[in-house]
Chain A
């Protein structure tokens, strides 16, 4: 049973460029959440995808966008990169049966460095 996977592992980009990060959820999971984790801080919620739609968003600008595919995998896109976007980007998957409780499992993350 494969866990949550993310690609690429590391990425170096220049200010102003665009980047796409990818996530495959744990088998049986249908919900994907994306987090940004700056060095020394806790994960900050970016947005969540369910049934191919963004259903909740954190306090991040529109430069951050995403997509979920029919197989539940997801992409995070960041446009016009800033130095402050340098962080570990984590994807977490969960199963949403409609109850209020759910467990999220994290992928290994993508380390993005913006120079």
Chain B
């Protein structure tokens, strides 16, 4: 399968714990995005990388959220000191920069439940 893959698919954690999600984009894509989707809502943009550079991070929800893409390939999203309000689906997407805006390929998501 050459699509966007995310790991883990499901994560249950206790409040206050740290969690990390991994995203492997489509190999030839140089752009990578993180979105969050809560119940009954559409996905909400969090952050965006072009190669290893994080070009937009002002939408990260708080300083407890951070993302990296160290070698311009896979990316990680970390949430420190989780809160119950962090429970959501975290979506990763990738694209090729020469494609038109909005042509993103999404993974199946990582569902976080904070108890």
Does A pair with B?
Answer: no
A residues sitting closer than 8 Å to B (CB atoms) are none
B residues sitting closer than 8 Å to A (CB atoms) are none
